[in-house]
Amino acid sequence: MKRFKRKFIIIALIALFVLAAIIIALASGKSGTAKKKDETGPKPALTVTTAQPAQAQLPIKLSANGSITAWQEAIIGSESNGLQLTDVRVNVGDVVRRGQVLATFSSASTKADLAQARASVMEAEANAADAKNNAERARTLENTGALSTQQINQYLTTEQTARAKAAAAKAMLTVQEVRLAQTQVLASDNGIISARNATVGAVVGAGTELFRLIRQGRLEWRAEVTSAELGRLATGTPALITAANGTQVKGKVRMIAPTVDAQNRSALVYVDLLPAAANVAPVRAGMFATGEFDLGMSTAVTVPQQAIVIRDGFSYVFRLNADHRVTQLKIEPGRRLQDRIEVLKGIAPDAVLVASGAGFLNDGDLVKVVTPPATAASAGVAR
C-alpha cells in the first residue's frame, strides 16, 4: 500500500513538471510570434531633417527692361555756306569741352570780305565827319540869313544820312566778323562725340550736320513699365541696371513719362546713371539692359530652398504630422534671399516641414526624423 502511494505521488509530480514545461513553451511561442509581428511592421520610407518657417526682411524689387541712351544728344552743324572744310580735329569717342574747336573752314574769302567791310567803315566814318562839320557851320549861320532855310536843311539831312551809312557799314563789318568766326566749328557743350559726318575737303552748305555730341557724357536707362506698376515708382527711386554685357551700374529715377503708350499700355521711366557709372567703358548708348528698382523692405515668411519640391510646374512642401507621416502641401513661392525662399501662401507659420530629402517623398509616407549635423555640432559646443 505504501508503495502504491509513493508511486502515485511520483507520477503526479512528473505530470506537473510536464504541464509546466508545456505552459512555458506556449508562452515563449507567443512572445516570439509577437516579436516577429513587431519586426514585420511598417518601416520609415526615408530619414529626413526638419525645419520651420522663419520671418525675414526681404527687399521689394520691381524688374523692367529697356535701353541705355544718351541723356541729350546735341547736333553740331555748319553755319557757313559754300566754304570748304580744311581741318577736322576730333573723331568719334573723343571727349570735348565747351568752346573747343572741332573743325575749320577755309577763311581766305571771308577775311577778304572782312577787310573790305573795314574799309567801308572808314570811308563812311570820314563822310559822316565831313557832313557833321558842314551841318555845324550851317547851324551857326542859321540866324544871320547867309544861307537859306533850304540849304541849311540840306546840310542837316546830309549829316543824318552820313551817320546812317556809317552805322550800316559798321553792321556789315560785324556780319563779316561773325562769318569769320563761323569758319571754326565749336563744341556747344562738354561731352563725347558720338557721330562724325565732317570730311576734309568737302564743301557744305549752311545747316549741314557735322557732328553729334552726347551732352556732358550723361547716359540714362529708359525702362518700360506697365501701367499697373507705374504707381509704385517715384522720382529718386534707386535702381540697379545690368547691361547686355553683364556690366552693372547704379541709377536713380529722374522722371516718369506723363503718358502711357496706347498700344502696349506701358510707360517710360527715365533713370539717370550715376556719374561714376556713366564713365564705365563697357556701358554704351544703344545697349539693351535689364534692371531692378529698389522699393524698400518688407517682412516675409521664408523656408529653406531644399524644402521646396517642383512637380508638374507647381511648388510643394511636405509637412510632418504627429504620427511621423508627411502631408504634401501646394505653396506659392515669392522672393529669394540667399538659400531661403519666401512663401506667399500655403503653409502655417508654425508648421514643421521636411528639409532634406523632400524630393524623394510622396504624400502619406512614414519618415524618420534626425538632427541635422550642423545642429548637433552646435549643441555639442553649447554643452
How much is the pLDDT for 187?
Answer: 94
Q: Return the CATH number at 206.
A: 2.40.50.100
Its pTM surpasses 0.75: no
Domain span including residue 310 = 47-58+299-369
In a domain, 173, yes or no: yes
Type of residue found at 106: S
Shared-domain flag, residues 77 and 206: yes
Q: Return the CATH number at 354.
A: 2.40.420.20
Shared-domain flag, residues 274 and 236: yes
How many domains does the chain fold into?
A: 3
Consecutive 10-residue averages of pLDDT for the chain (383 residues): 62 72 65 47 80 87 92 91 91 93 92 92 91 84 75 85 92 92 92 92 90 92 91 92 88 93 90 67 84 90 90 90 90 86 87 87 88 50 32
Residues 311/329, Cβ–Cβ less than 8 Å? no
Shared-domain flag, residues 86 and 162: yes
Give the separation between CA 335 and CA 59, rounded to whole angstroms. 8
Type of residue found at 162: A
Shared-domain flag, residues 77 and 208: yes
Q: Return the CATH number at 231.
A: 2.40.30.170
Among the candidates 196, 212, 228, a domain finishes at: 212
In a domain, 268, yes or no: yes
In a domain, 248, yes or no: yes
In a domain, 272, yes or no: yes
Q: Residue 46 corresponds to which cell in the numbers above?
A: 526615408
How much is the pLDDT for 7?
Answer: 65
Among the candidates 185, 212, 239, a domain finishes at: 212
Shared-domain flag, residues 92 and 161: yes
Shared-domain flag, residues 274 and 357: no
Shared-domain flag, residues 205 and 97: yes
Shared-domain flag, residues 292 and 303: no
Shared-domain flag, residues 248 and 172: no
Question: What b-and-e string marks burial along 353-374, b requiring 16 or more CB atoms within 10 Å of the CB?
Answer: bbbbbbeebeeebebeeeeeee
In a domain, 121, yes or no: yes
In a domain, 317, yes or no: yes
How much is the pLDDT for 147?
Answer: 75
How much is the pLDDT for 152?
Answer: 78
In a domain, 35, yes or no: no
Rounded to a whole number of angstroms, the distance between the first and last alpha carbons of the chain is: 80
Shared-domain flag, residues 204 and 227: no
| R_g over Cα of the chain | 49
Among the candidates 168, 190, 212, a domain finishes at: 212
Shared-domain flag, residues 305 and 268: no
In a domain, 26, yes or no: no
Shared-domain flag, residues 233 and 271: yes
